[in-house]
Amino acid sequence: MVSNSQLLELVKKAREGSGKRNFNQSAELTLVLKDIDVKKGFNLNEVVVLPHKPSRLPTICVIASGDMGTRAKKAGVERVMEPEELDRLGTNKREARKVVRAHDFFLSDTGQMASVGRSLGQFLGPKGKMPTPLPYGAPVESIATRFRGSVRVKSKNQLNVATKIGDEKLSDDQLVENASAVIAAVEKKLPQGDKNIRNAMVKFSMGKNAKLSALKKEEKGD
């Protein structure tokens, strides 16, 4: 189990090794897994709500029309895609790839899910970005707010998981709470929970990885 005190040491070491830059560096958590047979199709794709939002919020695309589309626009989502535009993207692969890359999360009116599959499925699927269905009358505003404070944690057929947990503007304690939320979500999806985590690392954009295994060696040496 990765404790909060260990995470705090990781964050502090990562921050010390990042240096001062003229931009706001992102903080990333990497978990190295063990004792999982990836040949059996291990796949992790979770959306985790962070306790503390980073400076750069995720971008959201809502595929809907009518009242749902109007409410999505009022909620300030970056893009609301009408069915006509969705159909057009189905015949323009270059533009479709661009749209998929430009947005972190996709939400869709349940009535449009089949069309999404036909038009964008081949691009969204491999990226793990298939839309979250929005049933009739869904509270688009609150759902969009939740996704704005979330990160996607994914891993497919490999023994490591990496995701952003914030940026250097957040305090060490805030980054620890965000990292802890991600780890808790990942552990729930692992066959043996925390026993499947071999190592944890934290780094800022321009810094070096601070590794949990290195901390343990230091503790043994004291």
Task: Mark whether 50 and 157 lie in a shared domain.
Answer: yes
Domain boundary among 117, 147, 177: 147
Domain at 163, CATH number: 3.30.190.20
What CA dihedral angle connects 136, 137, 142 and 146, to 10 degrees? -20
Same domain, 74 and 118: yes
Is residue 77 located within the same domain as residue 182?
no
Looking at residue 53, its pLDDT comes to 93
CA-to-CA distance for 114 and 98, rounded, in angstroms? 21
139 and 93: one domain? yes
Q: What is the pLDDT of residues 49-106, one digit of tens each?
A: 999 999 889 999 999 999 999 999 999 999 999 989 988 888 899 999 999 999 999 9
| Listed residues 100, 117, 147: the one ending a domain | 147
Instruction: For residue 115, count other CB atoms closer than 10 A to its CB.
Output: 17
Residue 1 has a pLDDT of 75
Predicted local confidence at residue 19, as pLDDT: 82
Q: What is the pLDDT of residue 135?
A: 93
Number of domains in the chain: 2
Task: Looking at the structure, tell me whether residues 135 and 159 fall in a common domain.
Answer: no
Q: Which domain holds residue 132?
A: 60-147
Task: Give the domain CATH number at 81.
Answer: 3.40.50.790
Give the count of beta carbons closer than 10 Å to the beta carbon of residue 113. Answer: 16
Q: Which pTM does this prediction carry? A: 0.88
Last residue of a domain, one of 147, 168, 186: 147
pLDDT under 50 in the chain at which residues? none
Contacts of 154 (CB under 8 A, 6+ apart): 44, 45, 46, 128, 161, 163
